[in-house]
């Protein structure tokens, strides 16, 4: 099962439980937020965010007047999550939305692959989580 499949399946399960008036059967959450949210209206599915060891799913309660309660549900990931950035050789070759590739001598291609593989090491990959800064090409 991929990370996307796991998140989709888990979101649906928790969403169904919340819609049925139950509390989530998995994850860590603040039950007071559920009580406060139910006073506002029906639950909606929100976003998901990731860290190397956790998945945070958000569920929203809103009254349609701008009042919202966000219910975060934290799950321990069944395995380490890694962020795979688009390799620099692909970014260099994006044209009109099509991601293609670029040509390199074999020795340089080997160096680029080794550099890319280093990005999934725990210490190096941790810095790739969280908000992304705008990239600038020079």
Are 18 and 34 found together in one domain? Answer: yes
Task: Provide the pLDDT for residue 17.
Answer: 98
Show which of 76, 96, 121 is a domain's final residue.
76
Check pLDDT > 90 for residue 26.
yes
Are 36 and 11 found together in one domain? Answer: yes
What is the pTM assigned to this prediction?
0.79
Check pLDDT > 80 for residue 97.
no
Which whole number is the average pLDDT over 40-63?
A: 95
Collapse the DSSP code of 8 into the 3-class scheme (helix H, G, I; strand E, B; otherwise coil) and give the result: helix
Nearest alpha carbon to residue 62 among 40, 84, 35, 47: 40
Are 7 and 71 found together in one domain? Answer: yes
Domain that holds residue 8: 3-76
Task: Provide the pLDDT for residue 135.
Answer: 65
104-120: per-residue pLDDT in tens?
A: 788 888 998 999 999 99
Are 132 and 99 found together in one domain? Answer: yes
Q: How many domains does the chain have?
A: 2
Are 67 and 98 found together in one domain? Answer: no
Q: How confident is the model at residue 121 (pLDDT cuts 50, 70, 90)?
A: very high
Rounded Cα distance between 23 and 29, Å, is: 9
Task: Provide the pLDDT for residue 102.
Answer: 72
């Amino acid at each position: 099962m991929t990370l996307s499949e796991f998140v989709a399946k888990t979101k649906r399960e928790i969403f169904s439980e919340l819609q049925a008036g139950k509390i989530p059967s998995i994850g860590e959450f603040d039950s007071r937020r559920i009580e406060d949210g139910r006073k506002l209206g029906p639950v909606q599915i929100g976003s998901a965010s990731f860290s190397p060891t956790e998945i945070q799913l958000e569920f929203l309660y809103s009254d349609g007047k701008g009042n919202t309660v966000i219910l975060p549900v934290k799950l321990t990931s069944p395995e380490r999550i890694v962020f795979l950035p688009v390799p620099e050789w692909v970014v260099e070759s994006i044209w009109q939305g099509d991601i293609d590739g670029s040509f390199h001598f074999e020795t340089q291609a080997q160096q680029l692959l080794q550099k890319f593989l280093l990005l999934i090491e725990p210490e190096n990959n941790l810095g790739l989580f969280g908000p992304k800064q705008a990239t600038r090409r020079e």
